[in-house]
Amino acid sequence: MTNSQRTVLPDSVRTNGATHNPWWDDAVVYQIYPRSFQDSNGDGMGDLRGIERRLPYLASLGVDVLWLSPVYKSPQCDNGYDIADYEKIDPRFGTMADMDRLLAAAHHYGLRVIMDLVVNHTSDEHPWFQASRDKNDPHADWYWWRPARPGHTPGSPGAEPNRWGGSFGGSAWTYDPRRGEYYLHTFSKKQPDLNWENPQVRQAVYRMMNWWMDRGIDGFRMDVITLISKFVDRNGRLPGEAGSLIKDLPAGEEGYSSPWPFSMDGPRLDEYLKEMRKAVFSGRDGYMTVGEGQGISPARNAAITDPNNHELDMLFLFDHVDCDQDGAKWNIEPLRLTRLKKALDGEQKAVGGKGWASLYFDNHDQPRSVSRWGDDRSPAARTRSAKALALLMHMHRGTPYIYQGEELGMTNAHFTRLDQYRDIESINAFHQRVEVAHVQSAASMMRSLAKVGRDNSRTPMQWDDSTYAGFEEADAVDDGGKAPWISVNPNKDEINAEAELHDPDSVFNFYRRLIALRHTDPVVSAGDFHLLDPSDEHVYDFTRTLGQSQIITVVNVSGSPARIPTQASDLLRRADTRDRDTRLLISTDTQERLRHGIRTGVLDPWMAFSLETRLPKEA
Ligand code: TEU
Residues 6+ apart with CB under 8 A from 596: none
Catalytic residue among 292, 306, 425, 472: 292
pLDDT in tens, 255-277: 999 999 999 999 999 999 999 99
Q: Whose CA is nearest to atom 16 of ligand 1?
A: 365
85 lines ligand 1 (CB under 6 A): no
How many other CB atoms are found less than 10 A from the CB of residue 422? 18
CA 185 – ligand 1 centroid, Å? 13
Whether the predicted pLDDT of 14 surpasses 80: no
**Alpha helices, H only, 395-441:** 424-430
pLDDT in tens, 296-341: 999 999 999 998 899 999 999 999 999 999 888 999 999 999 999 9
Residue whose CB lies within 8 A of the most ligand 1 atoms, among 83, 117, 124, 167, for a mutation test:
167
Q: What is the mean pLDDT of residues 5-13?
A: 63
Residue whose CB lies within 8 A of the most ligand 1 atoms, among 86, 124, 224, for a mutation test:
224
Q: What is the mean pLDDT of residues 34-38?
A: 98
pLDDT in tens, 88-147: 999 999 999 999 999 999 999 999 999 999 999 999 999 999 999 999 999 999 999 999
Q: Are 302 and 355 in contact (CB under 8 A)?
A: yes
Whether the predicted pLDDT of 418 surpasses 90: yes
First-to-last C-alpha distance (Å) of the chain? 39
CA 354 – ligand 1 centroid, Å? 28
pLDDT band at 343 (very low <50, low <70, confident <90, very high): very high
pLDDT band at 3 (very low <50, low <70, confident <90, very high): very low
Mean of the per-residue pLDDT values of the chain: 95
CA 465 – ligand 1 centroid, Å? 31
74 lines ligand 1 (CB under 6 A): no
- Nearest atom, ligand 1, residue 364 CA: 17
Q: What is the mean pLDDT of residues 63-92?
A: 98
Q: Which of 474, 237, 462, 453 is nearest to 365 (CA)?
A: 453
Q: Whose CA is nearest to atom 6 of ligand 1?
A: 365
Q: Report how far residue 613's alpha carbon sits from residue 579's, in angstroms, rounded to the nearest whole number.
A: 8
Q: Whose CA is nearest to atom 7 of ligand 1?
A: 365
pLDDT of residue 22: 81
pLDDT of residue 561: 98
pLDDT in tens, 528-559: 999 999 999 999 999 999 999 999 999 999 99
| Known catalytic membership, residue 223 | yes
Predicted TM-score (pTM) of this structure: 0.97
pLDDT of residue 618: 74
Residues 6+ apart with CB under 8 A from 14: 21, 22, 25, 525, 526
pLDDT of residue 579: 85
Residue whose CB lies within 8 A of the most ligand 1 atoms, among 186, 187, 296, for a mutation test:
187
| Known catalytic membership, residue 423 | no
CA 365 – ligand 1 centroid, Å? 6
116 lines ligand 1 (CB under 6 A): no
Q: Are 188 and 177 in contact (CB under 8 A)?
A: no
Whether the predicted pLDDT of 295 surpasses 70: yes
Catalytic residue among 116, 223, 241, 589: 223
Whether the predicted pLDDT of 9 surpasses 70: no
Domains of the chain as residue ranges with CATH:
3-120+197-229+265-413+459-501 (3.20.20.80), 414-456 (no CATH), 527-614 (2.60.40.1180)
Q: Whose CA is nearest to atom 23 of ligand 1?
A: 81
pLDDT of residue 13: 60
Mapped onto helix, strand or coil, the DSSP state of residue 593 is helix
